[in-house]
Amino acid sequence: MKEITRNWPFLGCLLVLAGAGIATPHLFGAYWTLVALNLAMWIALTQSWTLFSGMTGYISLGHVVFYGIGAYVVVATFKTVPLWISVPMGGVVAALFALIVALPVLRVRGPYFVILTFGVAELVKFIILNIETGLGKSSRLLFGAPGAQTLLYVMICLAIAASGLTLFAKVSRFGRGLTAIREDETAAETVGIPVARYKVIAFAASAAIPGMVGGLMALRSTYFEVLQVFNPIVSFTIVTMAIIGGSGDARGPLFGAAFMVGLSELLWANAPRLYMILLGLFLVGFVVFAPSGLVGLLARRGRETSA
């Protein structure tokens, strides 16, 4: 508890963001509601990614698979299962999927793990694509989905939940175990950490909220296309945000998501090419010059000015 309260600047920042998000539909209208939804979504996704990849050092390049599975669950049960059940169910199915693939996938480390997660996501994408084609549904329309404001409010809850989970993981004994695994897996098991179990639990935990996020976003776009909800760009964007923010703890994703959503707002509509170029430059720049991300840069500034 003491560690949680010690993070009051983070918690305060989170509350302010949430408040701003809740006020947006009333104050700024439809366009900014969608921007806020977007921001909340990326915060939720990047926090979840950090919970596993940031803490254990196993870089997942396939997190879109959980998002896609959640979306598919909601779409496939649309109008038969109420949304307040199907959206959480999307999270549960995503987490179960993570549990099932965790044991084989988490046997490999480093670049092999990165490639493998990417491959698993692509594999699931094509399996579901085949199922849908077999069912004769190349895309589905969703009529009567909730409006953007409702989705935004639920998404804000998910963003807060994901941030809370990552913060809790960081300060808990569980998080200590994950950090030790990142530093040296062999040494970690030598001091008594049940390495395999910890990795599997963290992996499943980091899949649950993306599953629910995917379900919500399927409702947002009102039509469902497999290639779109399993788009690997989602995975890449999550990793980019985590790196730019600084992936060590729960603060990074807030900065990373805000930075990139802001950049995309400024440039995407008018200068999409410039946006992509800048994105690449920032990614390379941060990896090479500031591997601890915006959080690291700000912390260093803080130390320099106070010194």
Partner 1 sequence: MSLLIADGIGKSFGGLRALAGVSFAVDEGEIVGLMGANGAGKTTLFSIIAGHQRASEGAIRFKGASISGLRPDQVCRLGIARTFQIVRPFAGLSARDNVETALLFGGAQQSASAKVSDRAMEILEEVGLVDQWQKPAGAMTLSGRKRLEVARALGTAPELLLLDEVMAGLTPAEVAEMLETLRSVKRGYNLTIVIIEHVVRALVELSDRIIVLHHGELIAEGAPADIAKDKSVRAVYFGEEDA
**Sequence-ordered list of residues with C-beta below 8 angstroms from that of 66, at least 6 positions apart, any chain:** 94, 95, 97, 98, 207, 208, 210, 211, 214
Question: Does 180 contact partner 1 by CB under 8 A?
Answer: yes
Q: How far is the CB of 253 from partner 1 (least distance, A)?
A: 20
Total residues at the site for partner 1 (CB under 8 A)? 20
CA separation for the pair 258, 186 (Å, rounded): 37
Task: Give a three-class secondary structure readout of 29-82.
Answer: HHHHHHHHHHHHHHHHHHHHHHHHHHHHCCCCCCCHHHHHHHHHHHHHCCCCCC
Name which of 155 and 181 has its Cβ closer to partner 1: 181
Task: Write the CA distances from 228 to 169, 222, 251, integer angstroms.
Answer: 31, 12, 29
Question: Does 138 contact partner 1 by CB under 8 A?
Answer: no
Q: How far is the CB of 80 from partner 1 (least distance, A)?
A: 45
Name which of 146 and 291 has its Cβ closer to partner 1: 291
CB 156 within 8 A of CB 39: no
> What does the buried/exposed string (b/e) look like for 83-113 if buried means 16 or more CB atoms within 10 Å of the residue's CB?
beebbbbbbebbbebbeebbeebbeeeeeeb
Q: Could you say which of 190, 233, 274, 281 contacts partner 1 (CB under 8 A)?
A: 190
Q: Could you say which of 23, 104, 112, 183 contacts partner 1 (CB under 8 A)?
A: 183
Q: Give the CB-side neighbour count of residue 135, counting CA atoms within 13 A.
A: 12
Question: Does 300 contact partner 1 by CB under 8 A?
Answer: no
Question: Does 6 contact partner 1 by CB under 8 A?
Answer: no
Question: Does 179 contact partner 1 by CB under 8 A?
Answer: yes
Q: Please report, as residue ranges, which positions from 103 to 122 form the binding site for partner 1 (by CB under 8 A).
A: none
Question: Does 186 contact partner 1 by CB under 8 A?
Answer: yes
Name which of 79 and 197 has its Cβ closer to partner 1: 197
Q: Which two tokens stand for residue 128?
A: 């579901």
Q: How far is the CB of 283 from partner 1 (least distance, A)?
A: 22
Q: Give the binding range for partner 1 (CB under 8 A) out of 99-107, 111-119, 169-177, 257-265.
A: 169-177
User: To 10 degrees, the CA torsion angle through 74, 209, 14, 285?
Assistant: -110
Name which of 122 and 189 has its Cβ closer to partner 1: 189
Q: How far is the CB of 177 from partner 1 (least distance, A)?
A: 6
Q: How far is the CB of 171 from partner 1 (least distance, A)?
A: 9
Name which of 19 and 194 has its Cβ closer to partner 1: 194
Question: Does 193 contact partner 1 by CB under 8 A?
Answer: yes
Task: Write the CA distances from 115 to 163, 173, 195, integer angstroms.
Answer: 27, 30, 22
Q: Could you say which of 22, 108, 150, 176 contacts partner 1 (CB under 8 A)?
A: 176
Q: How far is the CB of 28 from partner 1 (least distance, A)?
A: 42
Q: Could you say which of 12, 119, 147, 194 contacts partner 1 (CB under 8 A)?
A: 194
CA separation for the pair 75, 226 (Å, rounded): 11
Binding site for partner 1 (CB under 8 A): 2-3, 173, 176-177, 179-180, 182-184, 186-195
